[in-house]
Structure 1
Amino acid sequence: MEKDTLKSLIEFRKTLHQFPEISGDEKETAKRVLNFFGDLNPTKVIQKLGGHGLAFVFEGKEDGPVSLYRCELDGLPIKEENNIKHISKVPGKSHVCGHDGHMAIISGLGIHLSKNPPLKGKVVLLFQPAEETGAGAEAVIKDPKFKAIKPDFAFALHNLPTFESKQIILKKGAFAAASVGMTIHLKGRNSHSAHPEAGNSPAEAMAKTIVALERLPDAMKKFSLVTVIHAQLGEIAFGTTPGEASVRATLRAHENETRDLLVSYAEKLVIKIAKEYGLEVSFEYVESFAATHNDEDAWNLGNEAAKKLKLRTKHIRIPFRWSEDFGLFSSHTKTLLFGLGSGKKQPQLHEPNFDFPDELIPVGVDMFKEITKELHG
């Protein structure tokens, strides 16, 4: 990569880093991306895709496949704790997941395509909103404008701390877990705390629910995990016996079907506990992520690209426990999500002192360039 090109991408990345916007609010980030692509002459620009999403289409003169390369627009509601000049200027918000770096990589691919347009088919660069909440991919796919760019292949990467810097992490089949956030509402009856027998406190049922949920995966044949992340019993009122409680948990598995089975078992378990204590029960679900499944054809393209570039690769056997809403694209087309090692001593994703390493930008761009060359000439 030319020094001037890399310099402009690093500067762009650092600007994005300073002005993070959380899921669904990425209006100014989208404007910055649109301005960056102003001189790159894509064939078509699609705005407000699934919210503040953007798609830049580069068309070849001959018929051919459509391939999509996705990055994420959103930051996180986390206060950054870094000693860097480009630290976030937005209180309580930051790019400590590296989405700023992912955007720089796809922007670098845009620079390449402006100078080397595809010979056949279409290349689509997608800047997706709301990845962190799991809502963005669904909103993009459901948007009527998506029909015009429906891809035959979709590719994405995620930087991965604890792996060697610039290493490519690959796996066929299941790559990242399916997950969902579950909220359980238990309703009993308030009473004076001097007369708890006159009410029906959900305290004991809540305690049983917390313990039972986290032990539920023991009964599953395939990998699953339940993590209770929050619980609330009544209000802080020392004269009142609580009448309501809520328990929130994240349920995850390597396959969509196993996650759905886990949810079903969890509901049955909680309903049984609630019935035992004479409580009403209801459920809510948020942040549903589909499992990311790497198609063999897409995997081959990524693997060959890494070989041609003589990059170090690591072929993992066990899928990651975390979720990525890129997984929803797996239900609609042939997908590949691969990892890009960001250093063994790099802070973990979502830690307040994370900052995307700029030396990864050329590696990510080169991987996607090789894939586009193979598919589109």
Structure 2
Amino acid sequence: MLTNSDLVELTAFRRALHRRPEISGQEVETARTITAALKQLSPSRILTGLGGHGVAAVFDSGTKGETVLFRAELDALPIQERSDNDWVSEIAGKSHVCGHDGHMTMLLALGRLLSRKPVAKGRVVLMFQPAEEDGSGAKAVVADPAYEQISPDWAFAIHNEPGRPFGYVSTCTGVINCASLGLKITLTGKTAHAADPQDGVSPATAMVELVPALSALGQGGALDDSFRLVTITHMQMGEPTFGVAPGDGVIYATLRTTGDAGLETIEAEARAIAGDAAQKHGLQISFEVCDYFAASINHPDAFAVACKSMDAIGVSHGTEGVPMHASEDFGVFGWGAKSAMLCLGPGEDFAALHNPDYDFDDNLTPVGAAIFERIARDLLGS
């Protein structure tokens, strides 16, 4: 059990992380801070530079058994924080308004518990993943040759989710977070004088046609196998001037499905529709895929283990608010392991994630650590 001294120190640590946020792919200082904190816990091994700036601490019992991975995220968001807290972000335009600072602190709390009382068999891995917010980190970590030294049998993660009662965990079997990607569509024609638009090739008509056509590919609905959602998130055409007929345009569309295969299908359809429009209007076209998130699928065995562990320590749980439209860069860890994502409530009236006034509730740290510890001991013994 965490002591009062632990909680004071962990709260101070979390707030120190909060002051120094780093966005996806830039988590140099954060990774260094986490590594230094882990060294004090004397794990069997610390791996650094995983998939970029990822850090993993291995607590090996020395007795043969399974490997259980618990994941947190290193990165922050490119959002200007609004807060009167003493620990407000010191980095302009960047902030931990998704709670990743709190998730990291939960794992460090778990590390303290394991260092004092190791598991009886197997290994526990504390994985601090880079670049969660843009969907690139988990794939990079798993593709890193050093990840073979971890190769977990089980993987678990907790994400705080405002809108749920404090300490309540939402989870389910099957899909819990959708697959998604951002498709950037660039249309290129030819500029002309605004007085003689016929001398150029404008993307305007193609863009007007594409917005409803792309949106029609997926209009949401129930989160079942047929769920598809396309959201137009940004458009730009030409320059803000009255004297030039535009010669280029860009459309950003977010594509979302409940499965990875479905995402491939809707992406192919979107590319085909855009390509036809470009050809029809005499435009060149190019595509770029960004923020590619695999679906997070809770394995029934991992779900059952988590529920049994939460029952044992009196943590209330259910399926409120899940599955979710939102994506999460955790699903990749489930490609080679039985995995489960747990959504931990900080309160029903809590500020929403990614809002500039959001801040992690430090009272969640012992709750998350207790859940993780019980899962670890239920699987690996005390």
- Give the TM-score normalised by the residue count of structure 1: 0.97
Kindly indicate whether residue 245 of structure 2 is the aligned counterpart of residue 241 of structure 1: yes
Measure how far apart 1:275 and its partner are: 2.4
Measure how far apart 1:158 and its partner are: 0.3
Could you tell me which runs of 5 or more consecutive residues in structure 2 were left unpaired when the two chains were aligned: none
Measure how far apart 1:57 and its partner are: 0.4
Write out per-residue CA displacement over residues 82-129 of structure 1, whole angstroms, 9 at most, x where no aligned residue.
121111111111100000000010000000010011211111001111
Write out per-residue CA displacement over residues 49-96 of structure 1, whole angstroms, 9 at most, x where no aligned residue.
111111100011210001100000111111100121111111111100
Structure 2 matches for 1:136-215, cutoff 5 A? 136-215=137-216
Measure how far apart 1:218 and its partner are: 4.6
Q: What residue identity is the alignment partner of 2:55?
A: L
Q: What residue identity is the alignment partner of 1:247?
A: I
- Give the TM-score normalised by the residue count of structure 2: 0.96
Kindly indicate whether residue 69 of structure 2 is the aligned counterpart of residue 87 of structure 1: no
User: Which residue of structure 1 aligns with residue 34 of structure 2?
Assistant: 33
CA distance in 2, matches of 1:244, 1:233: 6
Measure how far apart 1:219 and its partner are: 10
Could you tell me which runs of 5 or more consecutive residues in structure 1 were left unpaired when the two chains were aligned: none
Kindly indicate whether residue 326 of structure 2 is the aligned counterpart of residue 299 of structure 1: no
Write out per-residue CA displacement over residues 266-293 of structure 1, whole angstroms, 9 at most, x where no aligned residue.
1121122222222222211011000000
Measure how far apart 1:317 and its partner are: 7.7
CA distance in 2, matches of 1:219, 1:356: 30
Measure how far apart 1:239 and its partner are: 2.2
The structure 2 residue matched to 1:327, chosen from 306, 317, 331, is 331
Kindly indicate whether residue 268 of structure 2 is the aligned counterpart of residue 264 of structure 1: yes
Change (3 A) 1:219 1:79: closer
Q: What residue identity is the alignment partner of 2:368?
A: G
More displaced stretch, 269-278 vs 20-29: 269-278
User: Which residue of structure 1 aligns with residue 107 of structure 2?
Assistant: 106
Question: Does the Cα contact within 8 Å between 2:182 and 2:252 map onto a contact in 1?
Answer: yes
The structure 1 residue matched to 2:352, chosen from 345, 348, 351, is 348
Question: Does the Cα contact within 8 Å between 2:77 and 2:95 map onto a contact in 1?
Answer: yes
User: Which residue of structure 2 aligns with residue 56 of structure 1?
Assistant: 57
Question: Does the Cα contact within 8 Å between 1:137 and 1:329 map onto a contact in 2?
Answer: yes
Measure how far apart 1:215 and its partner are: 2.1
The structure 1 residue matched to 2:367, chosen from 355, 363, 366, is 363
SS in 2 for 1:273: helix
More displaced stretch, 262-271 vs 59-68: 262-271
SS in 2 for 1:297: helix
SS in 1 for 2:65: strand
Q: What residue identity is the alignment partner of 2:308?
A: E
Measure how far apart 1:318 and its partner are: 4.9
Question: Does the Cα contact within 8 Å between 2:190 and 2:202 map onto a contact in 1?
Answer: yes
User: Which residue of structure 2 aligns with residue 285 of structure 1?
Assistant: 289
Question: Does the Cα contact within 8 Å between 2:296 and 2:334 map onto a contact in 1?
Answer: yes
User: Which residue of structure 2 aligns with residue 10 of structure 1?
Assistant: 11
SS in 1 for 2:93: coil
Q: What residue identity is the alignment partner of 2:282?
A: G
Measure how far apart 1:339 and its partner are: 0.4
Q: What residue identity is the alignment partner of 2:145?
A: P
Q: What residue identity is the alignment partner of 1:181?
A: G
Aligned length: 377
CA distance in 2, matches of 1:280, 1:219: 30
Question: Does the Cα contact within 8 Å between 1:183 and 1:247 map onto a contact in 2?
Answer: yes
Question: Does the Cα contact within 8 Å between 1:20 and 1:75 map onto a contact in 2?
Answer: yes
SS in 1 for 2:167: coil
Question: Does the Cα contact within 8 Å between 1:171 and 1:317 map onto a contact in 2?
Answer: no
Paired-residue identity, %: 41
Write out per-residue CA displacement over residues 292-329 of structure 1, whole angstroms, 9 at most, x where no aligned residue.
00001111111001101111112248520111111111
CA distance in 2, matches of 1:38, 1:277: 61
